[in-house]
Structure formats: C-alpha cells, structure tokens
Structure 1
Amino acid sequence: MIRIKKTLLMLSSAFAVATGTAQSQAQVFKAEEPLAHTYSIVARDPKTGEMAVGVQSHWFSVGTAVPWVEAGVGVVATQSFVNKSYGPLGLQLLKEGKTAEEALAILLAKDEAREVRQVSILDSKGNVATHTGKQCIRYAGHITGKNFSVQANMMLTDKVWPAMAKAFERSEGQPLAERVLIAMQAAEQEGGDIRGKQSAALVVVKGQRSEQPWDDKIIDLRVDDHEKPLDELARLLKVHRAYEHMNNGDLAIEKGQMQKAMEEYGKAEAMFPENLEMKYWHAIGLASSGQVDAAAKILREVYRKDDNWRELTARLPEVGLLNVSKKDLEKLLKAK
C-alpha cells in the first residue's frame, strides 16, 4: 500500500509539473482513487429494458470501482483516475430528472481533474453521454452508439474501442450480458490494456425498478484477481445461466409441470455434467414428485462421488424439503 501511495504521488507531481497546477494537486489526486486504466461498456437492451456495465482492467478488483447501477435509473462507468463519486452522484442526478448529458456536465464542472477522468453515463431510456479527458493515457477514446457506449484508456492500440463497438452491434439478438462479454472479448483480441489483465466485472439490472429492489440486479459477477479474467467471467456467466435453468425447474415442479421441470434440469446438467449440486436437487425434485426410482438412480451416482450427500438426504424430511414415505426414504438413502 505504501508503494502504491508513493507511485500515485509521483504521478501526481509529474502531472502537476506538466500542467502547471502543482498547488491544487493535493485535492485533485488522492491515494484512494484507483488507477483503473481499462476498457468498459455501458449498454441497454431496448426490448427488455435491461442495462449493463462490463469492465476489465489490469487492476485488482476493478468491479468495486468502475461499475455503478440502479434499476429504472441508469448505469455509470467511471475509470482512468477513478472518481468513485461519479457513480452514486451520477445516478442521483438521473433520478432528479437530469439527462445523461446534463448529469455528466454537472459532474465534470465540479471536478478539477476532469481531464484525467473517463466516464460514461447511460439512462433507462438508452440515452448515453461519455467523456474522455485530454490527459487520459493513450491510447484512449470512446464511441457512443444507439443504447451503448464503449470507452478505453491506456490501451495497447487505438483499435480496442472500435472493435468493441463493432462486436456489440453485430451481436444484436443475443442476451445483453452475453453481448457485453462479446464486446470485451473483442477488446482483448485487439490487445486490451497495455499492462495486461487482472480483473473484470459484469453487472446487469432491470430496466424498471420493482417493488422488490433487492431482486432488481439480475447479474452481478466479479473476477477480482485472475490470469485470464474474461475467461473466468465467461465461465461464471455460464454457471449463472445453468442455475437459472435449475431455478426454472424448481418453479415448474411447484406448479406440477414435470415435463418442463425435467427439460430445465436437463439443460442445466448438460451445461455442467459434473456438477453434483445440480444432479442432487434434480433427484430430490423427482423424488418429491413421486418418481422415486428415477431419483434413486441419480442419487446413486451422486453418492458414489461424495457420500455426504446421502447424509443431507436424511436431513431433508425433518425440515419439509423431502416429503416421501419412510419406505421411499429408505430406498433413496440406500441407493448404491
């Protein structure tokens, strides 16, 4: 941490000399402002209203600094020499009725260090405003399009953000999260961050705020430290989709729609055939619906790989998560 602070102070002093503003730099650069030189995308799906931020950087835990989101309001990506306040303040300005352009102008007007900032604001209607400061380390720039903006700084080449924009536009028709990931993968193919890669994040929120705001964030994935953060982010997104199928299967069982439940469970297991959790709850769902023999067949495979699941099966009836006869329970427990 001391070394990082010294580096920031050196960078601060160098910038002060270059711009002739040495006396104000103590207020402009702060040690708590992370150097999130990076590429990101803010985007909206016009069909669902969903909004997203995707980001990758050679900086630890970039997901804690760059993306800011609120369902029914908008999303913000703040980067380069990050001013985190741009996130919550930008969203607040949108809630007050300001346009994305007006909100960005207000934030920049109050910031002495605006020329080392890079920020993009997208509102719930798809309006977007983006700023790349003149002192952002090259290569730096942005492209705004219909319902999206891509922005990058300290890139290996100036082809990064154009590749992101093109990839996003060409992926139309796919789910928003996948489109955002495709755009970031395109950035990496053009060299990405000149320093390399370390962390990434992908956040998606609903287009409209619901009466259950704790469920308004649809996807919230972070890779804080990884040799290949985008690969890991892609894996996590796939896991997320698989568990969506599991949840859909559970709901189908509750409604007595067994065929749909089996289809959903099957889709999840096809994505991760070695995942015991998915196999296990699929079996419990079958047993609860009266298909004990089919459940025992799956449990046999699960127990063989980890016998702790057998003990879990014995504990489920006492909390009402497995309602079968004593005879059927014995069959499920003795599956070998």
Structure 2
Amino acid sequence: MTFSLVGRCARTGMLGAVVTTSAISVGARCQHARAGVGAALTQHRTDPRLGPLALDLLAKGVTADEAMQAVVAATPHRHWRQLALIDAAGRTAVYSGANVRGEKGEVQGKDCAAIANIVRSASLPGAMVAAFEKSPDLPLAHRLLEALEAGEAAGGERQPVISAALLVVHRESFPYVDLRVDDHTAPIAELGRLWSMYEPEADAYVVRAVDPEQAVPPPGMKIA
C-alpha cells in the first residue's frame, strides 16, 4: 500500500526519495539518504533498519546492486520486504520479496528507481519513472514530486493515501530538504505546497548552518 521513488540529479549530485502511503507518518519509516552516498527505500512490512544498512554498504564503495544483494541476503524476513536503492553514480537496484502483496511492481530508469505495492496498477512505477526522467534540468525535489503525482495519476493506492514525504541530500551531513505530511486528506498536494514554501529558503538554511556570518534573513523573518 505504498509507492515511492529514489532519484539522483546528475547536474548537482543531489540524491533523494519521495514516498506516499495510506498509513500514517510514512516519512519516519521508509526513506533514507546520505549525501555523496545514496538513497534507499524500504517498504511493505517495513523494516526501517534496512535503509541505513544499505547506505552503510554504499559508503564502503560497493554498487547499488552489490549492496542490495548483501541486504537481501542478511534479512531473515526478506520475502516480506520491498526495497529500492540508488548510489552516488546513479546506479540502481530493486527487490520485491515473494510475499509482497497485491498489485506490485518495480521499474529502474535513468538515475531513478520506483517501487510500489498494493496499488491499482502494476504500471504505476513506470509512470513515476517516466515523469522523473522527463525534466532533468529541474531541481531534484521538483522531479521527485512530479514522480509522486504521476503515480497517483496512474491509479495510486487501493485506499486513499494519507501521508507523504520528500527527502533530498546534497553536500552536508544534514538533509537539504526533509518535508513530511503525516496525516492529511490530500498529502501529495500538501507536500507540494510545503515544498513551494520551503524552496525559496532551502539554500539559506544551509548557509545559516555552515557559514552563519554570511546568513541574511529576509525582511521580517526570524532565523531558525
């Protein structure tokens, strides 16, 4: 009952993931990313430990496919898991266990991979990948959100989604973007609205962290 995508911007090296589901607070469990290393998704009977495990392996220099094979081999309940990985070079890997239920699918594209389970159409991941690949010159966050919207337009889940999340990393150890909608009647649209508010300040928040003397707040804005 989840659909998601990991992606990379070839221009900037940014890495990220986007996800939505009909359960509460999907961003707290399913998406993981590390600057200069990769991004991971873990869903369906979700085990949040698998994302950091995969990123640790990528950080040692293995490829996405090698990391996926190692994670799957080390996972006792692998048949219940659905996973996607992208490494810093844009290589991807996907896995769907035999017990992943409902209409499901996974598609790998250029600098991206999409996975889905318990959705209305197995074509949904392909629609997400096509949307992500369509506009490589747009910021990564835009492309990830467009992929999520395309998944919903391709049929979405069998139940209404209520949570969605967007995660992007760049050069720092902290996320460039980490936005979550935990319980909402239109979480994908709400996530897009939050990004439209956050986007003008995204670079400024990084400057405030790494070079606070250069930070200039907009008129009337308090620095956080």
- The residue type paired with residue 190 of structure 2 is E
The one-letter code matched in structure 2 to 1:185 is E
CA distance in 1, matches of 2:113, 2:87: 12
Answer yes or no: is 1:230 the counterpart of 2:188.
yes
Range with greater deviation from structure 2 (45-54 or 151-160): 151-160
- Relative to structure 1, the CA distance from residue 49 to residue 192 in structure 2 (aligned partners, 3 Å threshold; closer, same or farther) is same
CA pair 156-72 structure 1, distance change in 2 beyond 3 A: same
SS in 2 for 1:136: coil
Residues 176 and 202, structure 2, Cα contact 8 Å, conserved in 1: no
Which residue in the other structure is 2:220 paired with?
A: 280
> 1:171 deviation in Å?
2.2
- Secondary structure of the residue aligned to 1:225 is coil
CA deviation profile, 1:288-318 (whole Å, cap 9, x unmatched):
xxxxxxxxxxxxxxxxxxxxxxxx9xxxxxx
SS in 2 for 1:280: coil
Aligned to 2:53: 89
* Distance of 2:125 and 2:56 partners within structure 1: 28
Q: Are 2:107 and 1:149 equivalent residues in the alignment?
A: no
Matching residue of 2:200: 242
SS of 1:129 mapped into structure 2: strand
Answer yes or no: is 1:47 the counterpart of 2:11.
yes
- Tell me the equivalent position of 2:157: 193
Unaligned 5+ residue runs, structure 2?
none
- State the partner residue of 1:272: none
Separation in structure 1 between the aligned mates of residue 137 and residue 176 of structure 2, nearest angstrom: 18
Measure how far apart 1:279 and its partner are. 5.6
* In 1, Cα distance between equivalents of 2:201 and 2:57: 35
1:119 aligns with 2:83: yes
User: What CA distance in whole angstroms lies between the structure 1 residues aligned with 2:179 and 2:203?
Assistant: 18
Structure with the bigger percentage of helix = 1
Task: Give the TM-score, by structure 2 length.
Answer: 0.89
Paired residue secondary structure (1:155): coil
2:203 and 2:58 map into 1 onto residues whose CA distance is: 34
Q: CA deviation at 1:157?
A: 1.7
Is residue 142 of structure 2 the alignment partner of residue 184 of structure 1? no
Question: In the aligned structure 1, how far is the partner of 2:156 from the partner of 2:103?
Answer: 10
The amino acid across from 2:164 in the alignment is A
Report how many residues are paired: 217
Shift of 1:115: 1.9
Write the letter of the residue equivalent to 2:220: Y
Following superposition, the deviation at residue 96 of structure 1 comes to: 1.9
Q: State the Cα distance separating 1:246 from its structure 2 match.
A: 7.2
Over 3 Å counting, the alpha-carbon distance change for 1:57 and 1:247 in structure 2 is closer
Structural mapping, 1:62-141, within 5 Å: 62-141=26-105
Find 1:158's aligned residue among 122, 126, 136.
Answer: 122
- TM (norm. structure 1) is 0.60
Flag the structure with higher strand content: 2
Cα distance in 1 for partners of 2:203, 2:114 equals: 31
Q: Which has the higher contact order (CA 8 A, sep 6+)?
A: 2
Shift of 1:84: 1.4
User: How far apart, CA to CA, are the structure 2 residues paired with 1:242 and 1:92?
Assistant: 32
CA deviation map 1:144-184 (0-9, x unaligned): 01211011010012221111111111122111100000000
Work out the CA distance in 2 between the residues paired with 1:133 and 1:145.
20
Residues 1:57 and 2:24 are matched in the alignment: no
* 1:53 positional shift: 0.5
Question: Which secondary structure does the structure 2 equivalent of 1:204 belong to?
Answer: strand
Contact 2:105 2:123 in 1 (8 A): no
Once the two structures are TM-superposed, the CA of residue 244 in structure 1 deviates from its matched residue by: 4.3
* Ranges in structure 1 where 5+ consecutive residues have no aligned partner: 1-36, 256-260, 266-277, 282-311, 313-320, 322-336
Displacement of 1:193 in angstroms is 1.3
